[in-house]
Structures are given as C-alpha cells and as structure tokens.
Amino acid sequence: MIISLREIGYDALKTQLKKDAPIVVWSCDECIKHCGLGGMEKLQVLADLLQRDGYTVQKELISRSCFLNLVRKHEAAVADAATIIVLACDLGYRCVKTAFHDKQVVKTMKTVGTGNFTVYRGPVLTSPLPWTQLEPSVDGYTLKTVSEKLGLHPTFFDAADATDLVTITVDGKPVQAKKGENLLDALETLGVKIPHLCYDPSLGLIGACRLCMVKIKGRFTPSCCTQVAEGMEIVVHDEELEAHRRLMLEFIIAEKGVDVTERSRELRYWTRKYKIEGTRFKLQTEDQHVDESSEVMVIDPNLCVLCGRCVVACNNVSGQHVIDFAGRGSETRMVTGLNEQFGETNCAACMACAHYCPTEAITPKLIVKKLMKEQDLLTPIPPLVTSSTKARGKG
Amino acid sequence: MMFSRLIPYEEITKQLKSADTIAVISCNTCARECGVGGVSRADELVDRLTQDGYTVTEEVVLQDACSEPVYRKARIRLDADTIIVLACSAGIDCVKRMFPKTRVLTVTEDVGLFVTETDLEVFKVALPFSGFKAGAEYAMYTGAPQEKQRIRLEE
C-alpha cells in the first residue's frame, strides 16, 4: 500500500478556499483510508468542519483515485464544483488534477513511499521514496515516527465540536446524537447493534434488506434511511421488531439455503444472535454457477442476498458500471457486464464490490495450492520433472 | 500502485540450492497489473522451476501481499524452507515478517509508483525510486515499455 501523510493544517486549507465557491471533498477509498486519512468517515469529518465554517460542500468517494479512467467517470459529481479538496496520495491528486484541470484542485496529503498494513501497529512505511532520505526498513516506520522526521501530520483534521448534538430517546432512554446523522450510524455509535446487510456509510442509502427496521412514533421505519432529529423517539427492541428481523432472516435462508449462514460470516452472526436454525418457509434454493473467470475475484451467487451494495459500489464508488441487477421480482439476480462471465467484462479490478459485499458472495481470489504432499518431501525427488502438469497433480 | 520488475530467471536460480523446498507467493494487486505477479506469472514460475528440477511445495496467490491481515485470514501454512515473492518490496517485507523462520528471496526491484488507465491498459510511472525516471509508460499485465505516450499527467 502507498503511505501518505497530511501536509497541511485546517487553517492553511481554508486560506486556499473561497466562501462562495462550491467545494467537493474527494477521497480515495483505498490506501489513504488505511492510513487513517481518507474514506467516507474522514470525508464526513472534513465536510462537517467546512460546513460549520460556512462553505458549501459535497462529498465524493472513489474506489481508486490513481486509476485515471475511473477518476474521469466521476465528472458529473464535480461538475458544479469550483474547488476539489483531495484526500488521496500524490498519484490520486495528480489524476484528479489531470481529469479536472479547469477546477482548483487542493492537495492535502504527501506521499512518502510504500509499506504494509500491520495487525498491531497499523500502517508502516517500509520503502521510503528518495526525497524522504529514510533508509528502507523491513519492520517499517510507524506514521508517527515518519511524521516527526519529515514534519508532516499523522492524524486527520481535528473533528472536535464539528457538529450539533441533539437529544433523542432510544427504548425510553434519553441520549445525545449528531443532528442529521444517519440513524443506523448514530445507534451503532451509541452501542446499539441492529442487523443490516445493505447499508454501509460509504455507499449511502439503499434500503433493500429491511433488517434494520425500528419504530418511530409506532411506525416501522428503516433506520438506515432516517436522519437523526431533535426529540426523535425510537424503539429498537420490542417483540414485534424482533419477530420482523427473524422473519427477514428466515426469508434469506429460504432463498439461499441453510448453509448460507455457515458460509457467510455476517449472516452467521445474526442468525446465531437470533437463534435461527432453519426456516419455516419452503426452500427455494437452486445451485448456481460460481463465477471464477476473473483473475482477481470470485462471485458466488449462492451467497448473494441481493442487498445491492456491489451495484452501488461499482456504479457510484468505482464509476465503472460493470455490476447491476437483471430480472424482476423473484427472478432478480446480480449480473456482470452484459450478462457475461465476470472475467469477460471491463472490470477495472478496483475491488470495491468485494470490499463492500456483506455476505462474501464476492471475494478477492485466494489460491493456496499444495503442490507436494508431506510424504513426497521424504522421498528422493528426481532431478528433472518433465511435465509440470504431472507435478501439480500431486497436490 | 507500485511498479516492480522481476530480475532475470537465472538470477533467481542463482539464489537457490537444489535441496531447497520452495513456495511461490504472488501478489494479485499492483504486481499483477505491472506483469510481475498474479495467477499467470505464479504459474509460469512454478512450471519453470519444476521443469528445472526444483521442488516447489506451494503456490499462493493473494490480494494485497503488503497487508498482514490477508495472511492471517488465509491461514497459510508452508512446508517450504524458501519463499519466492512475486511482489514489490513492501510485499516482500510483509512476507519476511509473516514467515520469520523461512528464507525469503528478493527477486524484484522497485521502479516507482504509477497511475493507471485500465481502459487503455497502460500505466505511467509518476513517482520513481532512485535510479529510475518519471514519465515512462508500460503495458498493463506485461510491463512492456510503450513507445507512444498515452497518459498526459498534470504535475
């Protein structure tokens, strides 16, 4: 992954902006997000800060800002903007500047090299670019260390007090939440977990799975499609809502088979939480062809719950428009290209669909081939094996 | 994305002994795009090593060889005592940390960071490492140098 750090402060950023000029805050959804300086969450923070200070701001997320053709496909999103603030590496910034050269494009990050995402230390820089004058390091430099050495910032713009808080009631308890925030996000921030499959903050509203229903003024309301407002009274847990969520999960099992709950981590979590072991409905399952034609991804329609995340990710976050729905009603299915094998489409391999799929119906390709068994290693191996196919067949 | 180049095959085999048991780990992201990694390059290298009498015990192709969680999720157990990594230096460093008791060969060199045009199937080096120049364009999936410049990139 590419390692970048923030090079300007919020006040310095504002000196480059005009109050009457519409702004698009643009973020890459890949390396910069893993560096803690981009992605939808950071887009929202910066947009909140700027809106509080009186600027007109829109947000735009792209799966990979270093893919010039994908950047160009986001033209409509920046059409009305005078200024684009870019949260991306130097490559992503230059692609935006190239694609939208008639706009003011503001750089906020500085790329220092490449590195790893580690489990315990987060992102580390292992292969610094020459300008940093740092030596390569297998263990890697933490972003804090690199920032100190190079005079950059390892954290995002300060989000403190960027938004107004309002009081809402959740299951009878008064709590505070951000005004205008997505209700499902607000509930999760408050520690209230509700099952949901189609909603992800980065993708916006879909409202397809109907799992995240709550009651507001006694009416069933999808929390993912509702904004927090002062005085809102929300019921998250009651018998009727729990029965509804069970019913929705049973519908999925009826359509996809009982083993879907074992193969998909997300469904496994929720069916176990609701103690669902089967379905009262007639199973509608039929074994569907697993598409392994792509070099980078595998699509298993047997796990697809038609939540629509991959469709939104491919159309809005990537811009490549390779995945969509076809058919109607019970015949609805997810298709790639013009109903082709995935490997035959012009997929840019940005991985947005796999990243957002909640049920592992789309996953990055992982191949682990054991070419020799343990006992093969104990017997002498002839010096020359003439058929590679034969050698592989041993595994 | 990172552009890395594979060293000549003979340079790879110079680092190997006939008794070595070898695993090939191939990155399916940047390395695939610049023609060093992915499924086909891993297959090619495994075939060639096997034909030359080396013992290849594992072939692994994974997304983002530079990300530790990927290895953890894949739960890879290697019988090999030597690993050849078809990835950039960041991927190689990650493998060295994930398999600290196994010898890891460096068989690629970093050229620089690139922007890509997947519809045209070309990429352009924008931030080079020492010894390389910015601006050169290459074909995706092979890394073959392109005579004609097709990406005009603003500074």
Write the ipTM. 0.96
* Phi, psi torsion values for B51, nearest 5 degrees: -65, -30
Residue B153 lies in a domain: no
A70 touches chain B (CB under 8 A): yes
Do B71 and B103 lie in one domain? The reply is yes
pLDDT higher than 50, residue A392: no
Residues of chain A above pLDDT 70, percent: 93
How far apart CA A326 and CA B11 sit, in angstroms, is: 51
Do B105 and B132 lie in one domain? The reply is no
Give the closest-approach CA distance of A18 to chain B in angstroms: 23
What was the pLDDT predicted at A391?
Answer: 39
Tell me the CB-side half-sphere exposure of residue A27, using CA atoms within 13 A. Answer: 26
Summarised one tens digit per residue, pLDDT across range B7-62 is 999 999 999 999 999 999 999 999 999 999 999 999 999 999 999 999 999 999 99
How far apart CA A307 and CA A311 sit, in angstroms, is: 9
How far apart CA A298 and CA A336 sit, in angstroms, is: 12
pLDDT higher than 90, residue A63: yes
CB A276 within 8 A of CB A250: yes
With CA atoms as reference, report the closest residue to A68 among B132, B124, B33, B111: B124
Give the closest-approach CA distance of A109 to chain B in angstroms: 14
In the structure encoding, which two tokens stand for residue A133, read together?
């004058």
Do B54 and B117 lie in one domain? The reply is no
pTM reported for the whole predicted model: 0.91
Ramachandran sector of residue A7 (left: φ over 0; alpha: ψ -120 to 50; beta: rest)? alpha
What was the pLDDT predicted at B81?
Answer: 96
Confidence of residue A386 (pLDDT cuts 50, 70, 90): very low
Summary mean pLDDT of chain B: 96
A133 touches chain B (CB under 8 A): no
A351 touches chain B (CB under 8 A): yes
What was the pLDDT predicted at A285?
Answer: 74
CB B116 to CB A136 under 8 A?
A: no
A98 touches chain B (CB under 8 A): yes
Do B25 and B70 lie in one domain? The reply is yes
Confidence of residue A92 (pLDDT cuts 50, 70, 90): very high
With CA atoms as reference, report the closest residue to A333 among A293, A296, A284: A284
Summarised one tens digit per residue, pLDDT across range A307-321 is 999 999 999 999 999
Q: Which domain holds residue B116?
A: 112-146
Nearest chain A residue to B33, by CA: A349
Question: Which of A127, A365, A384 best probes binding to B when mutated, by most B CB atoms within 10 angstroms?
Answer: A127
Do B56 and B84 lie in one domain? The reply is yes
What was the pLDDT predicted at A153?
Answer: 96
Query: Burial code of A63-95, b = ≥16 C-beta within 10 A, e = fewer?
Result: bbbbbbbbbbbbeebbeebbbbbbbbbbbbbbb
Chain B hits for A90, CB-CB cut-off 8 Å, are 113, 126-127
Residue B37 lies in a domain: yes
Residue B129 lies in a domain: yes
CB A138 to CB B93 under 8 A?
A: yes
Do B65 and B127 lie in one domain? The reply is no
- Pairwise pLDDT comparison (B154 vs A227), residue with the higher score: A227
Average pLDDT, stretch A44-73? 96
**Which of the residue ranges A28-32, A38-42, A369-373 would you say has the lowest mean pLDDT?**
A369-373
Confidence of residue A374 (pLDDT cuts 50, 70, 90): low
**Which of the residue ranges A23-32, A74-83, A238-247, A253-262 would you say has the lowest mean pLDDT?**
A253-262
Residue B154 lies in a domain: no
Residue B54 lies in a domain: yes
Chain A hits for B68, CB-CB cut-off 8 Å, are 116-119
Question: Which of B45, B86, B119 best probes binding to A when mutated, by most A CB atoms within 10 angstroms?
Answer: B119
Chain A hits for B132, CB-CB cut-off 8 Å, are none
With CA atoms as reference, report the closest residue to B58 among B42, B31, B78: B78
Going A172 to A178 to A181 to A186, the CA torsion angle's sign is negative
Confidence of residue A384 (pLDDT cuts 50, 70, 90): very low
With CA atoms as reference, report the closest residue to A268 among A188, A364, A363, A197: A197
**Which amino acid belongs to residue A373?**
K
Chain B hits for A66, CB-CB cut-off 8 Å, are 1, 114-116
Summary mean pLDDT of chain A: 91
B15 touches chain A (CB under 8 A): no
CATH of the domain at B76: 3.40.50
pLDDT higher than 90, residue A156: yes
Residue with tokens 């998250």: A236
A2 touches chain B (CB under 8 A): yes
A380 touches chain B (CB under 8 A): no
Coil, helix or strand at residue A18: coil
What are chain A's domains? 2-150 (3.40.50.10660), 165-237 (3.10.20.740), 241-273 (no CATH), 297-391 (3.30.70.20)
